[in-house]
Amino acid sequence: MNVTIVGCGSVGAGWAALFAGVGGHRVRAWDPSPDVRGAFTDKVTRAREQLSELGHSTDAEVIVCERIEEALWGADWVQENAPEKLELKTQIYQHVESAVTHDCIIASSTSSFTWSQLGAGLKHGERFVIAHAFNPPHLVPVVELFCPNRGALDRAVKFFTELGRVPVCMKKEAAGHIGNRLAAALWREAVHLVAEGIADVEDIDKVLIHGPALRWSVMGAHLGYHIGGGEGGIDHYLRHTGPSQERRWATLGNPQLTAEVCEKIAAGVHNEVGDRDIAELERQRDRQLMEIVMLRDVYPTLVRK
């Protein structure tokens, strides 16, 4: 397939590496910023090297284009990764629609906007798909999908499944989709714990990494409570332990990001990070994600794909 990347940041680079390195698709990429375009090839190369370590390697090429029209020529699939600005994204879609055929899928990596917000102005909204992944998309398998048109949604499921992704189709659209809503709920309580002086940033992260997140890497919240219910499973848990959950829910916080709270969070994060810069943190994150991916290939998760 001919796949076009619109938006050449880190998400776009991960997608490009995946589309070419795993799918063997011909990839063209474009970004309005010459500096971003200039840095794109190195980012894609690093991501493709990571995929090669994981056993995925093809010689499909990735071409960076100076003009969007060149990138869109003959496209079968367009993956948009522009900043989260509604007006900007809708302008891009209007441009893309005028340059591609009617059977070309236009997919958005949006992390927050809904299909209705983004697809409202399209002439052929039936082929517009929300396709949100978590950064870096070439290492984190899940892709959240939404499209009212069953045919386009089926094409998206097939496309991402063949790339080794785990597509999840939402039954209704929601701002932030599934994953970011779950992450936002957890972070809200983490901010509350900091704001109330219950724990500092580093200790909260330690509890998460070495506690719940360790279990969540192999089972989701519902399955975790099912096992927690013992031989009676989730039915027993809901009947006998459900009220304790409701008591905890009643005490959860609803913090505000005041200047004081922001200062506490920022100070805590900087203390946790030390002298490591973002590039080093990304390298460490990617290396550990790769180790987890390789381990999960040997020991699958308890949740069926």
* The two structure tokens encoding residue 216: 């969540």
Residue 40: predicted pLDDT: 97
Does the pLDDT of residue 245 top 90, yes or no?
yes
pLDDT in tens, 195-216: 999 999 999 999 999 999 999 9
Count of residues in the chain = 305
Q: Show me where the domains of the chain are located.
A: 2-169, 179-298
Confidence of residue 120 (pLDDT cuts 50, 70, 90): confident
CATH architecture of 179-298: Orthogonal Bundle (1.10)
**How much of the chain exceeds pLDDT 70, in percent?**
99
In angstroms, rounded to a whole number, what is the distance separating the alpha carbons of residues 227 and 303?
13
Q: Which is higher by pLDDT, 259 or 57?
A: 259
Nearest-10 crossing angle of helices 259-273, 201-210? 60
Long-range contacts of 154-159 (CB under 8 A, 24+ apart): 155/105, 156/105, 156/107, 156/129, 156/131, 159/77, 159/105
Per-residue pLDDT, averaged over 161-174, amounts to: 96
Query: Cα 8 vs. chain centroid, distance in angstroms?
Result: 16
Do residues 114 and 137 lie in contact, with contact meaning Cβ atoms separated by under 8 Å? no
Question: How many other β-carbons are positioned within 10 Å of the β-carbon of residue 277?
Answer: 8
CATH architecture of 2-169: 3-Layer(aba) Sandwich (3.40)
In angstroms, rounded to a whole number, what is the distance separating the alpha carbons of residues 238 and 93?
46
pLDDT in tens, 26-35: 999 999 999 9
Query: Cα 212 vs. chain centroid, distance in angstroms?
Result: 20
Does the pLDDT of residue 70 top 70, yes or no?
yes
- Work out whether strand 142-146 and strand 77-80 pair parallel, antiparallel, or are unpaired: unpaired
Residue 305: predicted pLDDT: 61
Residue 167: predicted pLDDT: 97
Confidence of residue 89 (pLDDT cuts 50, 70, 90): very high
In 3D space, the residue among 86, 50, 67 whose CA is nearest the CA of residue 4 turns out to be 67
Q: Omega into 136 within 30° of 0, i.e. cis? A: yes
DSSP assignment, residue 125? G
Q: Does the pTM of the predicted model rise above 0.85?
A: yes
Averaged pLDDT score across all residues of the chain? 95
